[in-house]
Amino acid sequence: MSLENLAIVKTNDLPIRHQGDVHNGKVRSVYWLTKEDSKRLIEEKGYNIHPNAQLGAMVISDRLSAFECIWQAEDGLMGPPQKGACLNAVSYQWFKEFDKAGLAGNHILDVPHPLVWIVQKAKPVLVEAIARQYITGSMWRKYGEEGVRKFCGIELPEGLKKNQRLKELLITPSTKGIIRGIPGIPEDDDVNVSRKQILDNYMAFGFRSPEDVDKYETLLAQGCKLAEEKLKTLGKIFVDTKFEFGYVKDPSGDTSMIYMDEVLTPDSSRFWEAEEYAKGNIVEDSKEGFRQFLLNESGIEKDILLKKKRMDERRKAAAEYKVPVEEFMKVSDTYKRITEKITGEKVLEIKEPKTEVVEALSGYGLI
């Protein structure tokens, strides 16, 4: 029996009235609304934003991305069931926590359905803001297996052990999209860059001033500190994460930097079980377990998964390989477990995702 209907995968074919092309990311599709619909909703809903801001309907899928590719399972299962609802729920919970703590705002204005956000369009900062509290994952592979000691212009000391806590929060940014015309920065996506490179070319990275480079680092550190404190109360360890930032105008026309995309989800972050870590064990509450499955059990050559120069081979492998269904179900279970722990609520079961999304957005006059 086909399991295809258990997961929502195609999200760019909904009858949502919009302007221009639907933006299709790895896991989300964004329908940017017309000027008329944006203005109408701002007035009708009383959103506290600039009256001329453009809005979008952001619809999340259950697609599973790892090593920059989308993966599919056997028996027609196209994604881990309920993964999208988990990502939206946990990210929205963190944004609410940020608001309570008085941190910067974010792009979410409304949640019509567990798979949909109404967002305001922000001018993105072209930096993937990555922060690490432990040396693990790709950083450990570089440090422990390849002998690399300098990361994004920061020199790490000798003698670090795998999964060891770092002395302080380490910010290791990479490019978001392709940055062109800067000596020393390859014209490719997801390239590690130093703080000095960003400062020296702040306008190319989308910053309005050098001081805003300090600002994004401050917002990143504040979000990480809040996450660490919250997760500690849940018996979890905050390991690392990736944030994204952008600029919006407030109702008076002043520009401010906000959090955007998603924050502190199992897709963008690593969380460990504190009790197990104290015993010397690593129990992940993220998709790292799936990455390790691909590296160690899929039969795909590790070098293909880890080396960017073999990206064409990687994309081919991802298109042809069918993940065992139980591995997708493990991802689903992990995401539901950590989401329910963080939000304190059960993840809602969605039986007819596209029908429900259309019905929800009908109430916003967008169908």
Residues 130 and 65 in one domain: no
In a domain, 335, yes or no: no
Residue 105 lies in a domain: yes
**Residue 218 confidence (pLDDT) above 80:** yes
Mean pLDDT of the chain: 95
| 2: confidence class by pLDDT, cuts 50, 70, 90 | very low
Region 176-199 average pLDDT: 92
26 and 147 both lie in a single domain:
no
Please indicate, yes or no, whether residues 50 and 89 belong to a single structural domain of this protein. Answer: yes
Longest alpha-carbon distance in the chain: 60
CATH of the domain at 71: 3.30.200.20
CA angle 239, 241, 243 (to 5 degrees): 155
Whether the CB-CB separation of 12 and 22 falls below 8 Å is answered with yes
Is 101 domain-assigned?
yes
Same domain, 136 and 111: no
pLDDT for position 7: 80
Kindly state whether residues 112 and 24 are assigned to the same domain: yes
Residues 40 and 168 in one domain: no
pLDDT at 82: 95
Average pLDDT over residues 95-111: 97
256 shares its domain with 219: yes
In a domain, 9, yes or no: yes
Does residue 250 share a domain with residue 128?
yes
Question: Are residues 67 and 89 both part of a single domain?
Answer: yes
Domain count, the chain: 2
Burial 126-137 (b: 16+ CB within 10 A, else e): bbbbbbbbbbbb
Domain limits for position 213: 124-226+244-263
Q: Is residue 336 part of a domain?
A: no
The reply to whether 218 and 143 lie within a common domain is yes
Q: What is the pLDDT of residues 262-309, one digit of tens each?
A: 999 999 999 999 999 999 999 988 899 999 999 999 999 999 999 989
pLDDT bucket at 3, cuts 50 / 70 / 90: low
Question: Smallest Cα–Cα separation from 56: which of 27, 24, 91, 96?
Answer: 24
pLDDT digit string, tens, across residues 312-336: 999 999 999 999 999 999 999 999 9
**Residue 309 counted as domain residue:** no
**128 and 256 share one domain:** yes
DSSP H helices, the chain, are: 35-45, 83-100, 137-140, 146, 195-200, 210-233, 274-278, 288-296, 302-306, 311-320, 325-343, 353-362
Residues 166 and 97 both lie in one domain: no
pLDDT in tens, 19-75: 999 999 999 999 999 999 999 999 999 999 999 999 999 999 999 999 999 999 999
Final residue in a domain of this structure, among 263, 292, 308:
263
Answer for the pair 33, 366: CB distance below 8 angstroms, yes or no: yes
Rg (CA), the chain: 20
* pLDDT at residue 1 greater than cutoff 50: no
pLDDT in tens, 242-268: 999 999 999 999 999 999 999 999 999
Give yes or no for residue 101 having a pLDDT over 80.
yes
CATH of residue 249's domain is 3.30.470
Q: Of 210, 234, 263, which residue is a domain's last? A: 263
